[in-house]
Amino acid sequence: MKVYFFPKRMIQAVLVGVCCLLVLGVVWMFWSGGEATVMAEPVYQGQTAEQKVAIAVNVDWGEEVLPDMLQVLEQNNVKATFFVTGRFAEKFPELVQQIAAAGHEIGNHGYKHPHPDQLSVAQNQKDITQSEAILEKLTGSKPTLYAPPYGEHGQTCLQAAEQCGYTTILWTADTVDWEQPAPSHDTLVQRVTGDKLTSGAILLMHPKAHTAEALPDIISTIKAKGYQCVKVSEVL
């Protein structure tokens, strides 16, 4: 058996070449068409220094509760952001138009409320744009904010949202109003008006009956602490 010995310089050159190829491979992953691809991070809290917080309502059901929530918001002169799924908008177009006509912001919550992290970039894009087309037709405006279902925000989700021209919105404080058994009135209020209530906070809720009942106290507590309730876009 022959044993071959290679010069030290040759070995070093090979190692340097391999390292260069690895570096180029990593660089290629983050470059496309000569432009760097920097993945946008989801927004958990706005950057405003003003005493403003945003109410975000994710909507895929709750058509029987939304009118009550809208009434409370109107009585308290508060505007909120409603992230609506396309399939909900198809079923209840008049309700979506009522929300928009009242001066509230309409955001995109995807079409059929899938798990975004289980979808490819292309599949996420399809879900987002399918909902977008419906919402834009109903309201006359293309949404610019996207709240991913289940709060999932993996790479394929974030990339799809960004490529579709959206800012991905999550939350600062969550009512967790969907849990069973239903949270108590005081618990719902405390979850979004406690220590996390700071300038730019995004407060998440859903159209649940107990949330609608707690909403007047949530708003009054927020105002008592010196904050104004606004739409999500107003705290970004």
Q: Would you give the distance in Å from CA 56 to the centre of its chain?
A: 9
Catalytic status, residue 60: yes
The 3-state DSSP class for residue 10 equals: helix
Of the candidates 84, 136, 92, 139, the residue with the CA atom closest to the CA atom of residue 112: 84
- Burial class from Cβ neighbours inside 10 Å (0-12, 13-18, 19+) for residue 221 reads middle
Catalytic status, residue 177: no
What is the token pair recorded at 207?
């159209």
Q: Catalytic pick from 104, 109, 113, 206? A: 206
Strand partners, 205: 57
Of the candidates 153, 151, 114, the residue with the CA atom closest to the CA atom of residue 131: 114
Measured CA to CA, the distance from residue 97 to residue 120 in angstroms comes to 31
Residues 6+ apart with CB under 8 A from 37: 30, 31
| CB distance 217 to 189 below 8 Å | yes
Measured CA to CA, the distance from residue 166 to residue 135 in angstroms comes to 14
**Could you write out the DSSP letters of every residue in 193-210?**
HSTT--TTBEEEE---HH
Strand partners, 202: 54
What is the token pair recorded at 40?
């946008």
Q: Catalytic pick from 60, 68, 117, 217? A: 60
Which residues are designated catalytic?
Answer: 60, 206
